[in-house]
């Protein structure tokens, strides 16, 4: 079976979704700044979810506290 048309459709849908995200860049930046200020002032970021959202929460927590490329200070985080 040839999936070329299916893949083209999925690709177009993904491009549309990513293009739509551009309008959210200011809000995403504001959230990141608020999280940074919270952590720097000794606060905690609470992440939670149920099912897939719980998996997303764990992923975000790992991104925040991870030490992938360099050794950084550990941030307080609850998930």
What ranges do the domains of the chain cover? 1-43, 44-79
The answer, yes or no, to whether residue 79 has pLDDT greater than 50, is no
Question: Mind listing the pLDDT tens digit for each residue in 44-72?
Answer: 889 999 999 999 999 888 887 776 666 76
The answer, yes or no, to whether residue 78 has pLDDT greater than 70, is no
User: Residue 77 forms beta bridges with which residues?
Assistant: 45
Regarding predicted confidence, which is higher, 37 or 2? 37
Q: Which two tokens stand for residue 63?
A: 């991104």
State the pLDDT at residue 34.
95
Identify whether the C-beta of residue 75 lies closer than 8 Å to the C-beta of residue 39: yes
Identify whether the C-beta of residue 77 lies closer than 8 Å to the C-beta of residue 43: no
């Amino acid at each position: 079976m040839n999936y070329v048309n299916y893949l083209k459709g999925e690709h177009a849908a993904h491009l549309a979704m990513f293009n739509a995200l551009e309008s959210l860049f200011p809000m995403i930046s504001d959230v990141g700044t608020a999280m940074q200020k919270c952590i720097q002032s000794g606060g905690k970021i609470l992440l939670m979810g149920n099912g897939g959202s719980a998996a997303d929460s764990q992923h975000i927590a790992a991104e925040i506290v991870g030490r992938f490329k360099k050794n950084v200070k550990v941030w307080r985080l609850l998930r």
